A = this chain, B = another copy of it.
Amino acid sequence: MTNTKTNSGNFFEDFKVGHYLPHATPRTVTLGDVALYNGLFGGRFPVTSSDDFARGLGLSRSPVDELLVFHMVFGKTVPDISLNAVANLGYADCRWLAPVWPGDTITARSNVIGLKENSNKQSGVVYVRSTGRNQSDEPVLDYVRWVMVRKRDLAAPAPETVVPSLPAAVAASDLVIPTGLDFTKYDGALAGSPFRWDDYEVGEKIDHVDGSTIEEAEHQIATRLYQNNAKVHFNQHLQGQEKSGKRLVYGGHIISMVRALSFNGLGGAAMVAALNGGRHVNPSAAGDTIYAWSEVLAKEEFAGRKDVGALRLRTTGIKNRAATEFPGPDGTGKYPDDVVLDLDYWVLMPRR
Residues on A facing B (Cβ under 8 Å): 1-3, 5-7, 22-28, 30-36, 38-46, 49-53, 62, 79, 103, 105, 107, 135, 189-193, 195, 199, 201, 203-213, 215-218, 220-225, 227, 229, 231, 234-238, 247, 264-267, 287, 289, 291, 320-322, 326
- Are B213 and A236 closer than 8 Å at their CB atoms? yes
Which of B26, B52, B231 is A210 in contact with, Cβ under 8 Å?
B231
A22-B189, A41-B224 given; 19 more Cβ-contact pairs under 8 Å: A1-B201, A3-B207, A5-B206, A6-B264, A25-B46, A30-B32, A31-B31, A35-B35, A38-B224, A39-B221, A44-B227, A210-B234, A211-B238, A213-B237, A213-B247, A215-B220, A217-B217, A237-B291, A237-B322
Q: How far is the CA of A34 from the CA of B27 in the complex (A)?
A: 12
With contacts A7-B264, A24-B192, A206-B3 taken as known, whether A211 is within 8 angstroms of B225 at the C-beta atoms is no
Question: Across the interface, which residues of B come within 8 angstroms of A287, CB to CB?
Answer: 236
- Are A26 and B49 closer than 8 Å at their CB atoms? yes
- Are A221 and B218 closer than 8 Å at their CB atoms? yes
Can you give 20 contacting A-B residue pairs, CB < 8 Å?
A2-B326, A3-B206, A5-B266, A7-B192, A22-B190, A24-B193, A25-B49, A25-B190, A30-B34, A32-B32, A32-B35, A32-B36, A33-B38, A35-B36, A38-B224, A38-B225, A40-B221, A40-B224, A51-B103, A235-B289
- Are A1 and B203 closer than 8 Å at their CB atoms? yes
Which residue of chain B has its CB nearest to the CB of A188? Answer: B24
- Are B39 and A222 closer than 8 Å at their CB atoms? yes
Which residue of chain B has its CB nearest to the CB of A22? Answer: B189
Q: How far is the CA of A22 from the CA of B190 in the complex (A)?
A: 7
Q: How far is the CA of A1 from the CA of B295 in the complex (A)?
A: 10
- Are B39 and A53 closer than 8 Å at their CB atoms? no
How many chain copies? 3
A221 smallest CB distance to B (angstroms): 4
Question: Across the interface, which residues of B come within 8 angstroms of A320, CB to CB?
Answer: 237
Question: Across the interface, which residues of B come within 8 angstroms of A227, CB to CB?
Answer: 38, 42-44, 49
Question: Across the interface, which residues of B come within 8 angstroms of A28, CB to CB?
Answer: 49-52, 62
Q: How far is the CA of A227 from the CA of B145 in the complex (A)?
A: 32
A73 smallest CB distance to B (angstroms): 14
- Are A36 and B36 closer than 8 Å at their CB atoms? yes
- Are A35 and B27 closer than 8 Å at their CB atoms? no
- Are B234 and A211 closer than 8 Å at their CB atoms? yes
Q: How far is the CA of A141 from the CA of B216 in the complex (A)?
A: 34
- Are B192 and A225 closer than 8 Å at their CB atoms? no
Which residue of chain B has its CB nearest to the CB of A219? Answer: B217
Question: Across the interface, which residues of B come within 8 angstroms of A212, CB to CB?
Answer: 234-235
Q: How far is the CA of A259 from the CA of B135 in the complex (A)?
A: 27
- Are B190 and A107 closer than 8 Å at their CB atoms? yes
Question: Across the interface, which residues of B come within 8 angstroms of A40, CB to CB?
Answer: 221, 224
